[in-house]
């Protein structure tokens, strides 16, 4: 089975699609626009899920589950929300099929039309706030800090594995608060959770800050996000946290009695990340040899490969590696002994390289005689022969070194591809090169729209600055409070 990866520099899009398939992460399904997440890819998603879930629970959140189907009338209650999602909604109109009288299979039963059509969940604000109405009566019922792990459907015309599919997996937090301050604090807290996860676990440097009004989530008062730079110079929005104000509470009449017995509308937030993080992981770190996985997300952290000629050497090498496997696992590492006897060791080396396993240890007859092991790092593609004794401790140390090195490499790339530009003509010329561009903007939707139309670049976020430096808009020359981050984006 060939594992050759397309060249990233020649065609980044083809490289990405090819890599996702070659590394056994996912494949296109028989359903247009949908994907099958394969076991190896799902194992990475499970590690992401487990780490995020732990962090959510440490901040007081609990998991719940809400229906996949949403009455169409619910979406109509929040005007901006329905406008933002209407074009992407899949709608259920009937609840039964029947045999075609002409014998051509099955047809929709016209007598089984639903009284009210149901939308397949594009996001859950409406169904959740309809539910919260019955949960919230008094200030004593607040806050509600719920999260759900679920799938959603957004009918996409152009799809790409993990980055944009008709159905995808995600988590969505939905919280209810007694005061505006509490809700704003929640919004900031959760974007911080995402940023820490991206940096510490995904080894992914991110910018953090609010979106402009035109880029906000439909129905939100404010949207905070984390943005990462991919190796082709495009930005990828990796997570969002929304302050919803009282919009959904008013739409669904969710009020509570405060300590004085007066009725007030509840304050809300929502926040989420999706399997798009898998795409970010691939695009931010991988190379022409395959995946490069941070050890904290690698389903297999160390792979052991025996090198042998003949059955006697195979048995000796595998027996030796079984003992090493036990020592490595005792240190908490996830280890795979590749003892397949139907493929050569060189094939195994290539396969695990493509799959991004951080560390490979190989043992042959010479190593058995000398008490050594060949150690290969995926992040640097370097190899060395080291003493077998104590290699388990070295492997643990290398996990941290590899994790740190992958982050540092991604950060160096971002820094080399982040530019301060004051001239709009220079911006228009250099946007083709890709990267993050820090530019002054006059704060108007008109200027923002003009830049997007003329360059296909958008304002990814307004970065947090303790001491923002004012300037002049690169387009209009009008006053600007601070620089904002422009980029072309996925």
Structure-token pair, residue 134 = 């019955």
Asked if 485 and 437 count as a contact pair (C-beta separation under 8 A), the reply is: yes
Per-residue pLDDT at 163: 96
Centroid of chain to Cα 334: 23
Q: Are 409 and 391 in contact (CB under 8 A)?
A: no
- Distance, in Å, from the CA atom of 315 to the CA atom of 307, rounded to the nearest integer, reads 10
Q: What tokens were used for 248?
A: 């959904």
Q: Is 366 exposed, middle or buried (0-12, 13-18, 19+ CB in 10 A)?
A: exposed
77-106 burial: b if 16+ Cβ within 10 Å, else e: bbeebbebbeebbeeeeeeeeeeeeeeeee
Name residues whose C-beta falls within 8 Å of residue 236's C-beta, 6 or more positions apart in sequence: 163, 227, 228, 229, 230, 276, 279, 280, 283, 489, 490
Q: Please name the residues in contact with 341: beta carbons below 8 A apart, sequence gap of 6 or more.
A: 314
Q: 1 pLDDT exceeds 50?
A: no
d(CA 267, CA 322): 57
Contacting residues for 193 by C-beta, under 8 A, at least 6 apart: 52, 55, 56, 59
The pLDDT confidence band at residue 406, using thresholds 50, 70 and 90, is very high
Tokens of 70: 């949403």
DSSP assignment letter at 90 = -
pTM for this prediction = 0.95
**Calpha distance 4→168 (Å, rounded):** 28
Number of neighbouring beta carbons within 10 Å of residue 392: 21
> What CA–CA distances, in Å, run from 231 to 165, 207, 410, 482?
21, 16, 9, 26
Q: Where are the alpha helices (DSSP H) in 3-156?
A: 12-22, 39-58, 72-75, 79-85, 125-135
* C-beta separation of 281 from 204 below 8 A: yes
Query: Quick one: average pLDDT of 282-293?
Result: 98
Token pair, residue 260, equals 């004085």
Cβ-based neighbours of 89, under 8 Å, separated by 6 or more? 75, 119, 120, 122, 154, 155
Tokens of 484: 């904002």
Region 129-151 average pLDDT: 98
The pLDDT value given to residue 6: 81
Q: Is the pLDDT assigned to residue 2 strictly greater than 70? A: no
Q: What is the H or E stretch that residue 9 is in?
A: none
pLDDT digits (tens, 9 = 90+) for 195-244: 999 999 999 999 999 999 999 999 999 999 999 999 999 999 999 999 99
Say whether pLDDT at 79 is over 80: no
On the question of pLDDT at 299 being above 50, the answer is yes
Name the token pair of 302.
Answer: 């160390």
- Whether the Cβ atoms of residue 205 and residue 411 lie closer than 8 Å to each other: yes
What does the mean pLDDT of the chain come to?
A: 96
**Calpha distance 151→240 (Å, rounded):** 17
What residues contact residue 103 under an 8 Å CB cut-off, 6+ apart?
none
Spell out the domains of the chain, with CATH numbers in brackets.
12-283 (3.30.930.10), 300-401 (3.40.50.800), 418-487 (3.30.110.30)
In degrees, rounded to 5, the angle at the alpha carbon of residue 225 between the alpha carbons of residues 207 and 295 is 60
Residue-wise pLDDT for 19-43, tens only, equals 999 999 999 999 999 999 999 999 9
Residue count of the chain: 490
| pLDDT over 70, % of the chain | 99
Buried residues in 184-196 as b, exposed as e (16+ CB within 10 A)? bebbbebbebbbe
Q: 443: number of CA atoms within 13 Å, CB side?
A: 8
Q: Is the peptide bond between 143 and the residue preceding it cis, with omega within 30 degrees of 0?
A: yes
- Which pLDDT belongs to residue 82? 76
CA separation for the pair 175, 186 (Å, rounded): 8
Could you write out the DSSP letters of every residue in 91-130?
EEEES-EEE-TTSSSEEE-GGGEEEEEEEE-S--HHHHHH
- For residue 181, what is the DSSP state? H
Q: What is the pLDDT of residue 3?
A: 55
Q: What is the mean pLDDT of residues 104-125?
A: 95
User: Residue 80 — pLDDT band, cuts 50, 70, 90?
Assistant: confident
């Amino acid at each position: 089975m060939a594992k050759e990866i397309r060249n990233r520099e020649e065609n980044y899009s083809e490289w990405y699609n090819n890599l996702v398939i070659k590394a056994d992460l996912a494949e296109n399904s028989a359903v247009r626009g949908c994907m099958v997440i394969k076991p190896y890819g799902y194992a990475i998603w499970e590690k992401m899920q487990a780490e995020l879930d732990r962090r959510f629970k440490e901040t007081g959140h609990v998991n719940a589950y809400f229906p996949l189907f949403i009455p169409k009338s619910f979406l109509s209650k929040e005007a901006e929300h329905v406008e933002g999602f209407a074009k992407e909604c899949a709608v259920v109109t009937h609840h039964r099929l029947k045999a075609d009288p002409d014998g051509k299979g099955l047809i929709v039963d016209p007598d089984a039309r639903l009284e009210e059509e149901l939308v397949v969940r594009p996001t859950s604000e409406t169904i959740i706030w309809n539910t919260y109405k019955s949960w919230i009566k008094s200030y004593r019922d607040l806050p509600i800090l719920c999260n759900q792990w679920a799938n959603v459907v957004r009918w996409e015309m152009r799809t790409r594995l993990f980055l944009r599919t008709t159905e995808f997996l995600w988590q969505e937090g939905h919280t209810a608060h007694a005061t505006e301050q509490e809700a704003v604090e929640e919004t900031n807290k959760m974007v911080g959770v995402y940023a820490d996860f991206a940096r510490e676990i995904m080894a992914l440097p991110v910018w953090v800050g609010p979106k402009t009004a035109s880029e906000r989530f439909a129905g939100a008062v404010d949207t905070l996000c984390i943005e990462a730079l991919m190796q082709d110079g495009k930005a990828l929005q990796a997570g969002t946290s929304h302050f919803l104000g009282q919009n959904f509470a008013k739409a669904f009449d969710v009020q509570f009695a405060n300590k004085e017995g007066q009725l007030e509308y509840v304050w809300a937030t929502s926040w989420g990340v999706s399997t798009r993080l898998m795409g970010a992981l691939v695009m931010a770190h991988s190379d022409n040899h395959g995946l490069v996985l941070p050890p904290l997300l690698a389903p297999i952290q160390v792979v052991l490969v025996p090198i042998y000629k003949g059955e006697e050497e195979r048995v000796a090498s595998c027996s030796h590696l079984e003992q090493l496997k036990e020592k490595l696992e005792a240190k908490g590492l996830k280890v795979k002994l590749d003892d397949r006897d139907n493929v050569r060791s060189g094939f195994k080396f290539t396969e695990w390289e493509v799959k991004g396993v951080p560390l490979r240890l190989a043992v042959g007859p010479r190593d058995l005689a000398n008490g050594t092991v060949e150690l290969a790092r995926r992040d640097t593609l370097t190899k060395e022969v080291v003493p077998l004794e104590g290699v388990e401790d070295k492997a643990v140390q290398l996990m941290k070194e590899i994790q740190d090195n992958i982050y540092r490499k991604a950060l160096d790339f971002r820094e080399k591809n982040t530019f301060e530009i004051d001239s709009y003509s220079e911006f228009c010329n250099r946007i083709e090169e890709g990267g993050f561009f820090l530019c002054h903007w006059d704060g108007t939707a008109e200027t923002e729209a003009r830049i997007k139309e003329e360059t296909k670049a958008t304002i990814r976020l307004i970065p947090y600055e303790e001491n923002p430096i004012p300037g002049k808009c690169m387009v209009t020359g009008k006053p600007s409070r601070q620089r904002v981050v422009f980029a072309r984006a996925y």
